[in-house]
Amino acid sequence: MSYLLKEGFAGLRRTKWASMTSIFSLSLALLLIGILFRLSYNLYDRALSLRDAVELEVFLYDLDDQDIQSMEQALLSLDEVQSSSFISKDSAASIMRAEFGLGVEDLVALDFLPASFKLSLGRDIPAEKIVEVVTELEGWIGIENVKYNASLLQLLETNLQTLTRIGTGIGLLVLLAAILLVFNTIRLTVYARRDVIKAMKLVGATNGFIRAPFVIEGILQGLIAGGISAVVLHLSFERLFPRLAPEFELLVWPFGQWYYLIGAMVALSILMGWLGSRWAAGTFIRKTQL
């Protein structure tokens, strides 16, 4: 193990410029992925917040108190419904008076307003499922009709899908480019040591044993690149970007803490270094003839 680690570090020195180029490029790729992910996360979170504002308003026929309580229990029993609030006929009249500036004498004319329930739904419910819920509720006895902002909901659903596809596509392209950079660097290292590899094969070394130092070298490149990109990302969002545009201070870190994204970036960098180096070393060591 000490030999493998020693050879892994030595590989970085043997191909100094190629390794530096690979580390720099890998750091840049990870930095772009980190920035893209944080911005996309905030856009996605804001879209979900807007979606939370979409409520179902269930208007009722004239029901007595017992029927209203039974209706509320039935609505809350639905898996898609998180909470409900009841608006009586008097409350509906007061709301209309406040919104439209009607006087007390006009409330008598508002006696036609029905009682209703406002339903808050879960965040992860697709638009198609909400349409199914609305269709089901409209068939319930005691419900006159159901109102909700269908156009806003459909727009949010479309934009969320587009954002997810674009972000995933760009991220995969950047990841593939970063893996290819590590692949080319390790390939140069293997090619430069082809005579040593032939000698090791002659004395009975296995392909796995020969490949291990190159894999360690790729992991080291990923670790260094991940550390650099993590530091730059954190300083950029905490110091640089807020000075350029104060709006960046409003951005939240994924899951509420900075270290989730930073840790994921370092882990992803190590994984890419491992994949690229294992791919390159395994391919070219097998092709090295005795």
The tens digit of pLDDT for each residue in 7-24 reads 667 766 777 777 787 788
Cα dist. 239→43, 111, 248 in Å?
21, 58, 10
User: Is the pLDDT reported for residue 1 higher than 60?
Assistant: yes
Residues 85 and 60 reside in one and the same domain: yes
153 within some domain: no
Q: Quick one: 41 and 172 in the same domain?
A: yes
- Decide if pLDDT at 90 tops 60: yes
Is 36 domain-assigned?
yes
| DSSP state letter for 205 | -
pLDDT digits (tens, 9 = 90+) for 161-179: 787 788 788 878 877 877 7
Whether the CB-CB separation of 125 and 82 falls below 8 Å is answered with no
Grouping H, G, I as helix, E, B as strand and the rest as coil, residue 85 is: strand
Residue 113 included in any domain: yes
Query: Token digits for 129?
Result: 């499922």
CA angle 43, 47, 50 (to 5 degrees): 140
Q: Are residues 176 and 223 in the same domain?
A: yes
- For residues 191 and 234, membership in a common domain is answered with yes
- How confident is the model over 79-95, as a mean pLDDT? 80
Task: Say if CB 278 and CB 215 are below 8 A apart.
Answer: yes
Q: How confident is the model at residue 288 (pLDDT cuts 50, 70, 90)?
A: low
Domain boundary among 148, 168, 194: 148
Q: Pick from 120, 148, 176: which residue ends a domain?
A: 148
Residue 27 lies in a domain: yes
91, 164: one domain: no
pLDDT of residue 133: 85
Q: Is 132 part of any domain?
A: yes
Query: Higher-confidence residue: 140 or 213?
Result: 140
Q: Could you tell me the pLDDT band of residue 55, with boundaries at 50, 70 and 90? A: confident
Mean pLDDT of 193-199: 76
β-pairing verdict for 116-121 and 143-147: unpaired
Residue 96: band (very low, low, confident or very high) from pLDDT cuts 50, 70, 90? low
| Residues 201 and 262 both lie in one domain | yes
pLDDT tens-place string over residues 207-223: 778 788 888 888 888 88
**Per-residue pLDDT reduced to its tens digit, 102-132:** 554 554 455 567 888 888 887 677 777 888 8
For residues 210 and 275, membership in a common domain is answered with yes
For residues 97 and 72, the model is more confident at 72
Closest CA to 262 of 24, 16, 34: 34
Q: Does residue 160 have a pLDDT over 80?
A: no
Task: Read off the pLDDT of residues 227-271 as tens digits, 9 standing for 90 and up.
Answer: 999 999 888 888 888 888 887 777 888 887 888 888 888 998 888
Which tokens hold the place of 287?
A: 């092709």
Number of helical (H) and strand (E) elements in the chain, helices listed first: 10, 4
Q: Is residue 149 pLDDT above 50, yes or no?
A: yes
CA 277/CA 215 separation, integer angstroms: 5
Structural domain includes residue 84: yes
- Percentage of residues in the chain with pLDDT exceeding 70? 85
For the stretch 120-158, what's the b/e string if a residue is b when 16 or more beta carbons lie within 10 angstroms of its beta carbon? ebeeebebeebeebbeebeeeeebeebebeeeebeebbe
Residue 104 pLDDT: 46
**How far apart, in whole angstroms, are the C-alpha atoms of residue 194 and residue 290?**
10
Residues 59 and 45 in one domain: no
Question: From the CB of residue 112, how many other CB atoms can be counted at a distance below 10 Å?
Answer: 8
Q: What range defines the domain where residue 43 resides?
A: 2-49+158-287
Q: What pLDDT is recorded for position 228?
A: 92
Average pLDDT over residues 178-204: 75
User: pTM surpassing 0.85?
Assistant: no
Distance CA 166, CA 74 (A): 40
Q: Averaged over 63-72, what is the pLDDT?
A: 87
Contact call for residues 190 and 285 (beta carbons, < 8 A): yes
Same domain? 165 vs 44: yes
Q: Which of 85, 114, 148 is the last residue of a domain?
A: 148
Nearest-CA neighbor of 225 among 171, 271, 278?
271
222: in domain: yes
What whole-number distance in Å separates Cα of residue 94 and Cα of residue 76?
Answer: 26
Checking if the pLDDT of 92 tops 80, the result is: no
CATH code for the domain in which residue 111 is found: 3.30.70.3040
**Radius of gyration of the CA atoms of the chain, in A:** 30
If one counts the domains in the chain, the total is: 2
